[in-house]
Amino acid sequence: MDMPIHADITVHVNGDEHRLSVDTRASLLDVLREDLGLTGSKKGCDHGQCGACTVLLGGRRANACLALAVAHDGAEITTVEGLARDGRLSPVQRAFVENDAFQCGYCTPGQLCSATAVLDEAARGWPSAVTGDMAAEPPLDDAEIRERMSGNLCRCGAYTGIVAALREAAGEPDGAAREGARA
């Protein structure tokens, strides 16, 4: 039987540099969890379908279970552990707590990373599949939030709280977001 091939990589995770020798077959999720001890990102389906493993890779969301670690030498990675700064929750984390946007919590790390990216995408004016006017800044209404978060599943059904949390973190008034969803 052939021995696994290892490669040396350097990754920057949550602001810290890590030099690692990784099996070339290892997923980024496995390296984060097993080699770096960052167990916030969860292994859900291990097929890129549930979003429990979502991390920010170069500021954009990615399913860590589908990413080969060796392909991300030099990458800037943010996991759920890196969202808080100086012991203070990020605005998205606070909004999730305040809006009861989690139940069992298994999907929450991926939801938080994805929600953080959603706010950045909307702030940059990036449209989604439900954006009506591609030339205008997309409103972050309920339909936009649901579409943008559709890659993150919650088996407990905390979607109402998740949508409310994103509206709050975006500074959208509750009523205005609902009106935009009806339009």
Express each pLDDT in 71-124 by its tens digit. 999 999 999 999 999 999 999 999 999 999 999 999 999 999 999 999 999 999
Indicate the pLDDT class of residue 11, thresholds 50, 70 and 90: very high
Predicted local distance difference test score (pLDDT) of residue 119: 97
Using the CB atoms, write b or e for 100-117: b if 16+ within 10 Å. ebbeeebbbbbbbbbbbb
Averaged pLDDT for residues 41-55: 96
Indicate the pLDDT class of residue 127, thresholds 50, 70 and 90: very high
Residue with tokens 């809006």: 99
Q: In percent, how much of the chain has pLDDT > 70?
A: 93
- Alpha-carbon distance 116 to 140, whole Å? 13
- Alpha-carbon distance 75 to 163, whole Å? 30
Query: Could you tell me which of 158, 134, 154, 153 has the C-alpha nearest to residue 144?
Result: 134
CB 93 within 8 A of CB 70: no
CB 144 within 8 A of CB 105: no
C-alpha Rg value of the chain to the nearest Å: 17
Query: Could you tell me which of 117, 116, 134, 112 has the C-alpha nearest to residue 125?
Result: 134
Indicate the pLDDT class of residue 174, thresholds 50, 70 and 90: low
What rounded mean pLDDT belongs to the chain? 93
Work out the number of other CB atoms within 10 angstroms of the CB of residue 22: 24
Q: What is the pTM of this model?
A: 0.91
- Alpha-carbon distance 125 to 97, whole Å? 27
pLDDT at 177 over 70: no
Q: What distances in angstroms separate CA 38 from CA 81, 91, 145, 162, 182, one per listed residue?
A: 7, 21, 27, 23, 41
